[in-house]
Structure 1
Amino acid sequence: MPTKPLVAIVDDDESIRVTTKDLLESAGLNAAAFASAEDFLSSGLLPSVSCAIADMRMPGMSGLALHEHLLASGNPISTILITAYPDELVRARALQAGVVAYLTKPFTDDELLGCISSAVRPGQRSV
């Protein structure tokens, strides 16, 4: 029986974490939510995560810094960055750094699910 990909949601806004987790689970994905990049990194789930959705602006480590940290530490997890404060220079830097997508809030459920579908490819990690 095929396993479902695990998607990590990293956002300091609890309402975003809850609604995004509900959306992903209703779409048939496994989801785990974290209030900070540091919580995610210390969770022990990195080996199981297929994709991470991370807010650009959080206390402590930003979403882009999290993506760069994952790459540098040998955990190249597909990352989707979300932000309420779009910046074209940051967007360009993020895409150059290899993020899957840079979405501006508010985005539609279909936009996010489409990005996740692109990020989670056959043969990637699942739980």
Structure 2
Amino acid sequence: MMAVVRSLISVVDDDQSVRESLPDLLNEFGFAVETFASAEEFLASGFIDKTHCLILDVTMPGISGLELQRELRLRGHAVPIVFITAHADESIRPLMIEQGAVDCLFKPFSESALLDALNTALQRE
């Protein structure tokens, strides 16, 4: 299944290795990518309205992934969100999906799981 050509995926993660490795993979899938080290950086970036899907770390210093999700909703931005987390607490997944997330992937996740989540997110647009 082909991804929508050059849909912009914004990656918000305080882990530099994630910000360096994910864009390569996403580019291979055919997406355009912007990365941000914090929720605050993303909110100030001017990319909110251009983002087709947000890959968002759950736990970050400052504004957390869940707080960013809430803030975007308050501002009227319905950008689909795929959460990623290194904290394998299965109990948070249903909560995030209930609050509107497309999926919550636990690191390390497979390329196919990520692509499936992104395709689902982009179909919601």
| TM-score of the aligned structures, taking structure 2 as reference length | 0.92
In the alignment, the residues of structure 1 paired with residue 100 and residue 48 of structure 2 have an alpha-carbon distance, to the nearest angstrom, of: 18
Q: What's 1:30 paired with?
A: 32
Matched, 1:114 2:116: yes
- Deviation string 1:42-63 (CA, Å, 9 cap, x unpaired) is 0001111010001111001111
The alpha carbon displacement at 1:87 in A equals 2.0
Q: What's 1:80 paired with?
A: 82
Q: What's 1:67 paired with?
A: 69
The alpha carbon displacement at 1:3 in A equals 5.2
Q: What's 1:105 paired with?
A: 107
- Ranked by relative contact order (alpha carbons within 8 Å, sequence separation 6 or more), the top structure is 1
In the alignment, the residues of structure 2 paired with residue 18 and residue 116 of structure 1 have an alpha-carbon distance, to the nearest angstrom, of: 18
Q: Indicate the percent of aligned positions where both proteins have the same amino acid.
A: 39
In the alignment, the residues of structure 2 paired with residue 3 and residue 115 of structure 1 have an alpha-carbon distance, to the nearest angstrom, of: 16
In the alignment, the residues of structure 2 paired with residue 103 and residue 3 of structure 1 have an alpha-carbon distance, to the nearest angstrom, of: 23
Q: Number of paired residues? A: 122
In the alignment, the residues of structure 1 paired with residue 110 and residue 16 of structure 2 have an alpha-carbon distance, to the nearest angstrom, of: 18
In the alignment, the residues of structure 2 paired with residue 87 and residue 111 of structure 1 have an alpha-carbon distance, to the nearest angstrom, of: 18
Q: What's 2:48 paired with?
A: 46
CA RMSD of aligned residues (A): 1.4
Gaps of 5+ in 2: none
| TM-score of the aligned structures, taking structure 1 as reference length | 0.90
In the alignment, the residues of structure 2 paired with residue 116 and residue 21 of structure 1 have an alpha-carbon distance, to the nearest angstrom, of: 13
SS state at 1:8 partner: strand
Gaps of 5+ in 1: none
Amino acid at match of 2:57: D
The alpha carbon displacement at 1:94 in A equals 0.7
